[in-house]
Amino acid sequence: MSDEFEHVARLIESAGSVVALAGAGISVESGIPDFRSPGGLWTRFDPSIYATFESFMNNPTKFWEMAEELNPLLEGAEPNPAHMALVELERLGKCDVVITQNIDNLHQRAGSSDVLELHGTFHTGTCLKCGTRLTYEEIKQAAAGRVVPVCKSCGGSIKPDVVLFGEPLNAAVLQRAVELATECDLMIVVGSGLEVFPAASLPNYAKRGNAKLVFINIAATVSDDIADVIIVEKAGEALPRIVEAYRNLSGAGAEANRRSEYNGIRP
């Protein structure tokens, strides 16, 4: 076992409260591109045109054109070993909550029971005129051959329940995330470039609360200077190895190993 994984396992063992903060990078191995990596979404869709609240309110066509490309990827994606490893940490009593910037629902589908979606979800939408809530299937029906879906009841424009750039986060969700970050003993930041605020400030809250910080990323982040451990590796490889190292250290038991094999996580 390499030292860095054993180091993280020890941090997990000594932590009373462990929180994961996930970004788009955790879902790249599920086939969903992130934003800023080479080939990421923003290399093809300028966010100031395709994904700001203001541009959506002025003319939602560009957003929905981007969604037409992105939705099949989101629909077809399956949780990968990184999502499953966070579920396994939760089963071992070592992941209280997953705070995610992702809108793809993959943590929930993997089995994480407490997922805080900072940036909402693509699974539901809301009519901006009458407030009707729609499921993903209803949004698709509301498009009915058009690019932009409109409300069946009032003809209003439908916005997916994702937080666009320039749009405030849900205040209660953000407050809980800040509290969790401030109070945790260990924050595992996985697949986030930490460039999108206020999500990017959560590791700072954790640090100020004396938590240890573990960053897992294939590249450097702008906040690497505050990390206690940096693992430069794919999330789908690093997180299962962390689970393995923690099990070896804690003797978490044959039962846990059997369950992991069943879940497709490398024992």
HEC secondary structure over 145-170: CCCCCECCCCCCEEEEEECCECCCCC
The answer to whether 27 contacts ligand NAD (rule: CB under 6 A) is yes
Q: Is 7 a catalytic residue?
A: no
- Give the three-class secondary structure for 188: strand
What's 191's DSSP letter? S
Gap between the Cα atoms of 74 and 97, Å rounded: 22
Give the residue nearest to ligand NAD (CB).
25
* Shortest reach from residue 154's CB to ligand NAD, in Å: 29
Rule CB under 6 A: is residue 32 a binding residue for ligand NAD?
Answer: yes
CA distance 124 to 164: 14
Backbone angles phi, psi at 100, to 5 degrees: -120, 145
The answer to whether residues 128 and 157 touch, using CB atoms and an 8 Å cutoff, is yes
Least spacing, CB of residue 83 vs ligand NAD, in Å: 11
Interface region with ligand NAD, contact rule CB under 6 A, candidates 53-61, 88-96, 101-109, 145-153: 101-109
Which string of x and - marks every residue 194-233 that binds ligand NAD (by CB under 6 A)? -xx-------------------xxxx-x------------
- The residue annotated as part of the active site, out of 83, 107, 119, 123, is 119
Q: How far is the CB of 258 from ligand NAD (least distance, A)?
A: 27
Residue whose C-alpha is closest to residue 34's, from 221, 229, 266, 255? 221
Measured from the CB atom, the residue of 83 and 212 that comes closer to ligand NAD is: 83
Nearer to ligand NAD, 160 or 252 (CB): 160
Nearer to ligand NAD, 194 or 252 (CB): 194
Angle separating helix axes 81-91 and 254-262, nearest 10 degrees: 150
- Per CB under 6 A, the list member of 28, 184, 242, 245 interacting with ligand NAD is 28
**Cβ–Cβ < 8 Å for 261, 267:** yes
DSSP letter, residue 212: E
Catalytic residues: 119
Residues at the interface with ligand NAD (CB under 6 A): 23-25, 27-29, 32, 34-37, 40-41, 101-104, 119, 191-193, 195-196, 216-219, 221, 234-235
